[in-house]
Amino acid sequence: MNDHDLPHSGPSESVTPPETPVDAGSQALTEALRSSFTIVKVVMVLLVLVFLASGLFTVGPEQRAIILRFGKAQGQGEKALLLPGLHWSFPYPIDEHIKVSIGGLQQVSSTVGWYAVTPEQLLAGIVPPAGPTLNPVTDGYVLTADNNIMHSRATLTYRINDPIRYVFSFVNASNTVQSLLDNALVHATACFKVDDILTRDVAGFQEEVRRRVTLLADQEGLGISVEQCAIQGVPPRQLTDAFASVLKAEVMRAKVLDEARSYENQVTNRAGADAESIINLAQSDKARHVSDVAAQAQRFEEILPQYRRHPELFEVQRLTETLGKVLTNAQEKIYVADGATGNRKQLRLLLNREPPKIKAEETKP
């Protein structure tokens, strides 16, 4: 049958080729890739959110924070300091925030003059056994003004006043403070004798170390203020017994001196009281004698006219009074007038003759 013999129903139409069947594996792979890309997008969004959220940080009430963007501080002077509260910055490595404590106390220790000790022994308070001699390779020490060797360590407590200078002027400001403390400890030890450091002037030695650290910190412009400096000094462990004997002798010497000064004060106070008593008694006697002399002088002035009128009678009266005072306790009183002058004078004296006392034995019947 030819094509010409086929019936024509109408105009010519295009013939659509038959669809090829879709492979089930390819379709599954497409769906899997589509789902994977969706998950990757979600994960990337979450990672971006987590990355940005990691830039949140909190500044405490006694802290200030500084944001560094590619190593450069954001802001100038006080504007670079972030106040307490919640803040945000780009996460590292774009930004970096540094917290500085301005209200809290910072602390560094100096062991440049201390013997070798492990952290465990230091925490437990255990003193390691001493060797036969001092080993300068492992054991630190300091020299005193009187050329003695001793061990000394210090703990410095300070406060940050200028966070900008403290953070940006030094690579590690805490290490700088420790170096200044080492310098001050060695310098102050060289200015004091070993007895002054250990017993006599401990407070003065600590104050000298504190003063030296403050001076060096101001010169370097650290931006800190020293609050406290605690120092511990001990003799070399090899000479502990010798130093203990010297300390005991020093204590005994101080005790004897104190007792001597106490006795001196007692004797001086007693002598002062006795001297004051004697002076007061002498002043009293002086006033009494002066008063008696003044009274006698006044009496003599009063009887002077009588003497001038009757001198002989005055003499007799005064003689009678005197003999009466002198012969008060005499049993018999006899007065013999002097007749050598040839003048006859009659003198009558009233002399009391006391009857003799009768003994108790004679009165008994």
3-state secondary structure the chain: CCHHHCCCCCCCCCCCCCCCCCCHHHHHHHHHHHHHHHHHHHHHHHHHHHHHHCCEEEECCCEEEEEEECCEECCCHHHHCECCEEEECCCCCCEEEEEEECCCCEEEEEEEECCCCCHHHHHHCCCCCCCCCCCCCCCCCEECCCCCEEEEEEEEEEEECCHHHHHHCCCCHHHHHHHHHHHHHHHHHCCCCHHHHHHHCHHHHHHHHHHHHHHHHHHHCCCEEEEEEEEEEECCHHHHHHHHHHHHHHHHHHHHHHHHHHHHHHHHHHHHHHHHHHHHHHHHHHHHHHHHHHHHHHHHHHHHHHHHHCHHHHHHHHHHHHHHHHCCCCCCCCCCCCCCCCCCCCCCCCCCCCCCCCCCCCCCC
Average pLDDT of the chain to the nearest whole number: 80
The mean pLDDT of 129-149, rounded to a whole number, is 88
Q: Decide if 226 contacts 156 (C-beta within 8 A).
A: yes
Query: Is the pLDDT assigned to residue 264 strictly greater than 80?
Result: yes
Residue 17: pLDDT above 70? no
- Give the lowest-confidence range in 41-45, 162-166, 255-259, 277-281: 162-166
Q: Please give the residue that has the higher pLDDT: either 162 or 224.
A: 224
| pLDDT band per the 50, 70, 90 thresholds, residue 335 | low
For position 365, what pLDDT does the model report? 45
Q: Which residue has the tokens 């008694």?
A: 281
Instruction: Give the pLDDT confidence of 55-72 residue by residue, as tens digits.
Output: 778 877 777 777 777 777
* pTM (two decimals): 0.54
Residue pLDDT, tens place only, 198-225: 888 999 999 999 999 999 999 998 889 9
Given a contact cutoff of 8 angstroms between Cβ atoms, the answer to whether 216 and 188 are in contact is: no
Mean pLDDT is lowest, of 2-6, 128-132, 163-167, 236-240, for 2-6
CB atoms within 10 A of CB 181: 27
Residue 237 has pLDDT above 80, yes or no: yes
279-329 pLDDT tens trace: 999 999 999 999 999 998 888 888 888 788 888 877 777 777 787 777 666
Residue/partner pairs of 122-131 with CB below 8 Å, 24 or more apart:
127/237, 129/237, 130/236, 130/237, 130/238, 130/240, 131/238
- Whether the pLDDT of residue 361 is over 60: the answer is no
Instruction: Give the residue, 336 or 82, on which the prediction is more confident.
Output: 82
What per-residue confidence (pLDDT) applies to 3?
Answer: 46
**Has residue 355 got a pLDDT over 60?**
no
